[in-house]
Amino acid sequence: MTSATPQRPVAGMLWMVTAGLCFVAVTALVKTLGARIPAAEQAFLRYLLGLVFLIPMIKPLRAAKLDARLYRIFTIRGAGHTVAVILWFYAMTRIPLSEVTAMNYLSPVYVTLGAALVLGERLAARRVLAIVVALIGVAIILRPGFREVNLGHVAMLGTAILFAVSYLSAKIVSDEVAPAVVVAMLSITVTIGLAPFAIAVWVWPTPYELAMLFAVAIFATGGHYAMTLAFKAAPVTVTQPVTFLQLIWAVLLGALVFGEPVDGFVILGGVVILAAVSFITWREAVLKRQAITPPANATKL
């Protein structure tokens, strides 16, 4: 009799901490680059340079049997993700690190709504309440009428929605093709999708800027790999709360390195959103349903 894979909660939490550090490194590098290179071009170069990591995926990609329907889904996902990463790179140059991090927690909430609308999942009263709580968290962060809500905040709201579209599209095809194919198709379609946007605003990058963007690709890939190991080692209900550390690191990094003021409302709003997402994840685990709401990290670049 084959036993189930043993759970290693400590290892799962440590891998999630590693993933969080990688993703914070991504935001720090992009913040350091600034706005000299347009957002679309930065995003394009990040994905273009990251294609080197697809080399191990060439064999399963060539072996995959993709029909017209799957190509349509991959195209839709690539289009949504393309715009999402442009908006994310833009937001990084307009608002503090802590606000980008806190608002990115909202993506799983949009996934929950999308799962009900697109995949027909039942939206129970408790999940509806958790969504309302998460939206209250957004209101705490933005505080419309009490502070300026600029284009960077609007961009992050759009980013969260489009990352949710990307995740739901991946969910639809995940049972039909290998994970390596899903990852490879995303990288390829997004690189192609970003190309015309990047060419339209092209500024020749310096070797230093290219090196920085390649480092972004490395840390983003490393973050996703560490996150996968975290999910393998422990349940999402164990690893999900660890993602809160990203907000702490983003606040500290923004304050100590970039001179950004510490905003208690942003921290409070991020905690409220993450608590709502954690509750949804916990309820799904209790109900022993296949999770459709991803952890906050799952919608990262």
Write down the pLDDT at residue 121: 67
Among 145-149, 243-247, 287-291, whose mean pLDDT is lowest?
Answer: 287-291
In the chain, where the domains are located: 9-299
* pLDDT band, very low/low/confident/very high, at 298 (cuts 50, 70, 90): low
Mean pLDDT for all residues in the chain = 82
Asked if 258 and 77 count as a contact pair (C-beta separation under 8 A), the reply is no
Provide the 3-class DSSP secondary structure of residue 176. coil
* pLDDT band, very low/low/confident/very high, at 2 (cuts 50, 70, 90): very low
128 is written with which tokens? Answer: 């509806």
pLDDT of 23 above 80 = yes
- CA dist., res. 80 & res. 65, Å (int): 23
List, in sequence order, the alpha helices (H) in the chain.
Answer: 9-33, 39-50, 58-63, 68-92, 97-104, 107-118, 125-142, 151-173, 179-200, 207-233, 236-239, 244-256, 264-286
Write down the pLDDT at residue 186: 86
- CA dist., res. 23 & res. 29, Å (int): 10
- The tally of CA atoms less than 13 A away on the side-chain side of residue 38 is 15
This model's pTM is above 0.85: no
Write down the pLDDT at residue 5: 53
Q: Which residue has better confidence, 179 or 53?
A: 53
Asked if 281 and 293 count as a contact pair (C-beta separation under 8 A), the reply is yes
High-pLDDT (> 90) share of the chain, %: 20
State pLDDT tens for residues 85-126: 999 989 888 888 888 888 887 777 787 777 777 766 676 777
Where is mean pLDDT largest: 80-84, 93-97, 223-227, 250-254? 80-84
Cα dist from 179 to 145, 216, 300, whole Å: 44, 22, 16
State pLDDT tens for residues 231-270: 777 766 667 677 777 788 888 888 888 888 888 888 888 8
Among 12-26, 64-78, 153-167, 219-233, whose mean pLDDT is lowest?
Answer: 219-233
